[in-house]
Amino acid sequence: MTVHTIQTQPIAGQKPGTSGLRKKTPVFMGRHYLENFVQAIFDVVGAEGKTFVLGGDGRYFNDRAAQVILRMAAANGAARVIVGQGAILSTPAASHLIRLNKTDGGIIMSASHNPGGPHEDFGVKFNMSNGGPAPEGVTEAMFQRTTEITEYKMLDAHDVDLGAVGRHHLGGMIVDVVDPVSDYAALMETLFDFPAIAAMFKGGFRMRMDSMCAVTGPYAVEILENRLGAATGTCVNATPLPDFGGMHPDPNPTWAKALMDEMFGADAPDFGAASDGDGDRNMVVGAGAYVSPSDSLAVLAANAHLAPGYARGLAGVARSMPTSAAADRVADALGIGKYETPTGWKFFGNLLDAGRATLCGEESFGTGSDHVREKDGLWAVLLWLNILAVRKQSVATILAEHWAKFGRNYYSRHDFEAIASDKADAMMAALRASLPALAGRVVEGLTISAADDFAYTDPVDGSVSQKQGVRILFEDGSRIVLRLSGTGTDGATLRLYLERYAAGPEGLDRDPQEALAPVIRAAHVLAGIEGYTGRVTPDVIT
């Protein structure tokens, strides 16, 4: 087998965003596109003699891209690649395999919650040897490399059979095809009280798990139905499909509407959950009780000690800046560390590695812990199940008791999608320019106490990340955050995050949109959203 060195040239815009490089699938399938980016990865992290993990969420082009990446890894001198059978690995399972096998990192093929298919989205992200997403310094170096690349290396070889577990050789490189589920499921058994959860199912507890035709299907069936004894059929949409069955694999009330309808209908199951394309996100919902992701993080932090893996308590809790402060209140009550990071899981890595944080979460339906270095959808579902099995209360009661104790951070995110990028940029620029003069101003009856553009200094390595989102804080503790998405592939997406605190005991069970109404109006006034974008009504409300 020969290694070919193929002449190429830089392709504009190969810049990783919040979570790797994401583009329309035809763009990724274009001449040299995938190859240039993969070579840039290997040029930055080095491949010679190294071992990597490879897998993806099964979306269209996943199988072809895997073969290209394997041939390039071999051509670049990698010693071994561990691949999920069928080129399938959920993001948290890939993170676990990287750590379990002490490899030098991994390549995950996914555009996460973005739809998949020939005309939808594809993505590639690199995770480091700690199992976590490459930090900004590394992704910046990869981007830099894509702007100067002149050649890539490719082994001339047949496809590797990824359909069955076993060892293959590709040039001088070993390819180990492994079961995507078993090591991950074994890890979950070490963290949670499986007998207690199984007893709960045996006692008639009913659940619906919607994998949205994405990667968590096989994991959910094995863990929930096979190992925990949930009724057959508990898991729906459990076969990963290249186009996710035409679904938008984003677990939120808009896209997981069927699950929401069931959970709010007559004869609702006790517990419902959904996960995203690559299995790192989760939505949890009780019978007639939606759990906002920010509240989910707070409830998990307050109750994690009920699960064996966290019985010793938590070192600290970290949340992304736009996530509500509900988790901070729990951290204060527990007397443990609390951290506020920019959006994106890569910012939690150092806190987890340093043992400062045990649980992490984002408002975008992401929760996780130090068991891997990614957010983990099924992990969150299992921790909820463990808590439900111990407390023997409904989700609604657990939420109500949580708010009664800590007060409630009403929270919502409004997304305005596919805005013309120049208009979104102009709006953000004007808003940023207005920040110094905002303190003291009264809008919609709310007095602004401070406004800034969030900057983060990593407490472990001192690296600084600027311009991570505009924050407008009000005297009554309300808050508005605005930032542009770094994961979209179609124009710009404006994310507007809204928060308002109610201490209780009155007013803890209002409708969030109604409770937030003055904050929403203030955001539109301050940012001039309609004037810049022509939009008043968000495309997605979570």
Q: What residues act catalytically? A: 112
* DSSP 8-state class, residue 117: S
Q: What is the spatial distance between Cα 286 and Cα 272, in angstroms, rounded to a whole number?
A: 6
Cβ-Cβ contacts under 8 Å for 38 (sequence gap 6 or more)? 68, 69, 72, 107, 124, 152
Look at the chain and count its residues. 542
Site for ligand VG1 (CB under 6 A): how many residues?
Answer: 19
Cβ-Cβ contacts under 8 Å for 51 (sequence gap 6 or more)? 78, 79, 80, 81, 82, 101, 103, 104
List 345, 347, 474, 497, residue binding ligand VG1 (CB under 6 A): 345
Q: How far is the CB of 494 from ligand VG1 (least distance, A)?
A: 10
Q: By CB under 6 A, what part of segment 312-341 binds ligand VG1?
A: 320
Q: Which token pair is 303?
A: 């109750």
Check the CA dihedral 342-345-349-355 and report its sign. Answer: positive
List 343, 358, 468, 533, residue binding ligand VG1 (CB under 6 A): 343
Q: Which does 367 bind (CB under 5 to 8 A by kind): Co ion, ligand VG1, none?
A: none
Q: Which does 533 bind (CB under 5 to 8 A by kind): Co ion, ligand VG1, none?
A: none
Is 495 a binding residue for ligand VG1 by CB under 6 A? The answer is yes
List 364, 369, 386, 533, residue binding ligand VG1 (CB under 6 A): 364
Q: By CB under 6 A, what part of segment 108-137 binds ligand VG1?
A: 112-113
List 14, 112, 412, 533, residue binding Co ion (CB under 5 A): 112
Residue span binding ligand VG1 (CB under 6 A) among the ranges 101-109, 253-261, 275-283, 333-341? 275-283
271 and 385 Cβ atoms separated by less than 8 Å: yes
Q: By CB under 5 A, what part of segment 257-296 binds Co ion?
A: 276, 278, 280-281
In a 3-state reduction of DSSP, which class is residue 415? strand
Q: How far is the CB of 276 from Co ion (least distance, A)?
A: 4
Q: Select 56 or 135, whichever has its Cβ closest to Co ion.
A: 56
Q: Which does 362 bind (CB under 5 to 8 A by kind): Co ion, ligand VG1, none?
A: ligand VG1
CA distances (Å), 495 to each of 183, 283, 324, 347, 523, in order?
A: 36, 19, 14, 19, 11
Q: Which token pair is 45?
A: 């992290």
Tell me whether residue 309 is exposed, middle or buried, using C-beta atoms within 10 angstroms of its C-beta: 0 to 12, 13 to 18, 19 or more. Answer: buried
Q: What is the spatial distance between Cα 229 and Cα 384, in angstroms, rounded to a whole number?
A: 16
175-196 core/surface letters (b: 16 or more CB in 10 A; e: else): bebbebbeebbebbeebbbbeb
Q: Which does 487 bind (CB under 5 to 8 A by kind): ligand VG1, Co ion, none?
A: ligand VG1
Q: How far is the CB of 499 from Co ion (least distance, A)?
A: 23
Which residue's structure tokens are 């939420």?
Answer: 399
Residue span binding ligand VG1 (CB under 6 A) among the ranges 23-31, 43-51, 236-244, 482-490? 482-490
Q: Select 145 or 495, whichever has its Cβ closest to ligand VG1.
A: 495
Q: How far is the CB of 104 from Co ion (least distance, A)?
A: 23
User: Nearest Cα to 21, choosing from 494, 488, 483, 415?
Assistant: 488
Q: How far is the CB of 49 from ligand VG1 (least distance, A)?
A: 30
In a 3-state reduction of DSSP, which class is residue 493? strand
Q: Which does 324 bind (CB under 5 to 8 A by kind): Co ion, ligand VG1, none?
A: none
List 249, 286, 342, 344, residue binding ligand VG1 (CB under 6 A): 344
Residue span binding ligand VG1 (CB under 6 A) among the ranges 42-50, 277-285, 450-458, 529-537? 277-285
Q: Select 19 or 146, whichever has its Cβ closest to Co ion.
A: 19
User: Nearest Cα to 95, choosing from 131, 68, 46, 128?
Assistant: 131
Q: How far is the CB of 211 from Co ion (least distance, A)?
A: 13
Q: What is the spatial distance between Cα 212 and Cα 311, in angstroms, rounded to a whole number?
A: 32
Q: How far is the CB of 220 from ligand VG1 (least distance, A)?
A: 17
- Binding stretches for ligand VG1 (CB under 6 A): 18-19, 112-113, 276, 278, 280-281, 320, 343-345, 362, 364, 366, 485-487, 495
- Binding stretches for Co ion (CB under 5 A): 112, 276, 278, 280-281
